[in-house]
Amino acid sequence: MSELNERTIALVTGANKGIGYQIAAGLGALGWSVGVGARDAGRRETAVERLRAAGVDAFGVPLDVTDDASATAAAQLIEERSGRLDVLVNNAAIVGAMPQEPTRVDPATIRAVVETNVIGVIRVTNAMLPLLRRSTAARIVNMSSTVGSLTRQSAPDRELNAGPVAAGYSPSKTFLNAVTLQYTRELTGTDILINAACPGYVATDLNGFRGTRTPEQGAAIAIKLATLPTDGPTGHFFDDAGEVPW
């Protein structure tokens, strides 16, 4: 077995910037080999170079999560490079065009958001599953958001923690949470643990850098769920404060 194959192999989607980049940096700091999933060649290579300069064993993975052929090619690349995948962090997402109030939203906006934030996760997960099944301790982390929590959206104090009214982005994370649970049910009894994570309100492109947390802080919960022990939880939703209600 080569040195590479003894290392934990991870793939982070949307790893060229924001929270995804910091997840890649954090997993790389553990000595893991980290695939930087990104759709734009220039942004991908810049991120890989930055990570390598920081000592991370990073490699570029061309990946547009909305494209079947791209997901298949990404799995092929990892197959040829390492023969298996241990950790998949489904981080890539979009907010989508505004407005998103349900009375005004363009249905095309909802379709685009769901295509990336939900179907993209299913597409990439299923492309990677044969590689994940070869790991003895596979972990899947789906980057969700507390704005997808129906409990939070319907709570009496919802204005405090439910985010803006948005018929595209917020329900896409609710949908993602529901899909996460269905994967958990199907994969019960395998070595694969799958959980959803919320990074908190993080200053990134996604929110015009209005977030109050740093991308490093936002990455912490994903790194924790990517490194769960064998008897760790599966089918749960976490942020830094603990379990988030669905």
| Minimum CB distance to ligand NAP smaller for 120 or for 132 | 120
Whether the link from the prior residue into 99 is cis, omega within 30° of 0, is yes
| Minimum CB distance to ligand NAP smaller for 31 or for 68 | 68
Q: From the CB of 14, what's the least distance to ligand NAP, in Å? A: 3
| Minimum CB distance to ligand NAP smaller for 158 or for 188 | 158
Q: What is the DSSP letter of 145?
A: -
User: Residue 47: what are its φ and ψ, rounded to 5°?
Assistant: -65, -45
Residues contributing to the site for ligand NAP (CB under 6 A): 13-14, 16-20, 38-40, 43, 63-66, 91-94, 116, 143, 145, 198-199, 201-202, 204-207, 211
- Pick the catalytic residue from 21, 169, 183, 201: 169
Strands (E) across the chain are located at 9-13, 33-38, 57-62, 87-90, 139-143, 193-197, 237-239, 242-243
Q: What is the CA radius of gyration of the chain?
A: 17
Question: Is 169 a known active-site residue?
Answer: yes
CA separation for the pair 117, 225 (Å, rounded): 19
172: nearest Cα among 119, 225, 235, 126: 119
- Give the burial class of 221: count Cβ atoms within 10 A of its Cβ; 0-12 exposed, 13-18 middle, 19 or more buried: buried
| Minimum CB distance to ligand NAP smaller for 7 or for 50 | 50
Q: From the CB of 117, what's the least distance to ligand NAP, in Å? A: 7
Q: From the CB of 181, what's the least distance to ligand NAP, in Å? A: 17
Q: From the CB of 237, what's the least distance to ligand NAP, in Å? A: 12
Active-site positions? Answer: 169
